[in-house]
Amino acid sequence: MGTSNGQSWDVICSDLEATRLVAGLLAVVLKPGDVIGLDGELGAGKTHFVQAVAAQLGFDPAQVTSPTFTLIQEYATAPPICHLDAYRLHDSDEFLELGVDELLGGDVVCLIEWASRVADVLPKDYLQLNFETLSESSRRISFVSNGPRSQKLLDNVRAAYSRQ
C-alpha cells in the first residue's frame, strides 16, 4: 500500500512481482531526458527494478546486469535506457569524466544506481527512488520528486498503482 506526503510517495513491495509491477508502471511514462536515481543498500533491489523497467520497454531483462564494473550500459528500448552505476566512483568529477553530461537530460532515459553519490551534478529535476529492505522478499520504495517533471512521473505511477 502506498502513502503520499506531497513530493514523495512510499510503496511496499511484498515480493519481486510487486517490484516488477511498480517498475512497469514507471516504465510506461518515461520519456527521453528523464533521470531516475536509485539508492539503497547492496541487494535492496535496484538492479531488479532496472531489469523490470527494461522488460516493460521490450528488452530482455536477462541482458540487464548491474553496471558496477562497466559503469554505463545502454539498452535499445523505446525510449532508450542508459543504466549507470556510481558505486565505485570516488566523486562527481569522476562521474562527469565518463561523459554523462551528454546523456543526462538528453535523448535517453538515465537510470542511475547509487545516485546519491553524484547528486550534486544531476539535473535539478530528477526522480529519486530509495530502496529499503524490510525482509528477504519485501522492500519499501520511496519515490521523491525534485521538480515538475519528476512530480508528474511520481503522480502518474501513484495513480496507476492505485488502480491496480
pLDDT band of 4, cuts 50, 70, 90: very low
Q: Give which of 33, 56, 43 is closest to 111, Cα–Cα.
A: 33
Residue 54 has pLDDT above 60, yes or no: yes
For the chain, the domains span 2-162
CATH class of 2-162: alpha beta
From 84, 133, 143, 141, select the one nearest 108 (Cα to Cα).
84
C-alpha span between 151 and 8 (Å, rounded): 8
The pLDDT mean for the chain works out to 90
Query: Which pLDDT band holds residue 70 (cuts at 50, 70, 90)?
Result: low
- Using pLDDT thresholds of 50, 70 and 90, give the confidence band for residue 96: confident
Banded model confidence at residue 66, pLDDT cuts 50, 70, 90? confident
Q: What is the pTM of this model?
A: 0.90
Q: Which residues contact 29 (CB under 8 A, 6 or more apart)?
A: 152, 153, 156, 157, 160
% of the chain at pLDDT higher than 90: 71
Residue 8 pLDDT > 90, yes or no?
Answer: yes
Q: Return the pLDDT at 164.
A: 87
Helices (H) and strands (E) in the chain, counts: 4, 8
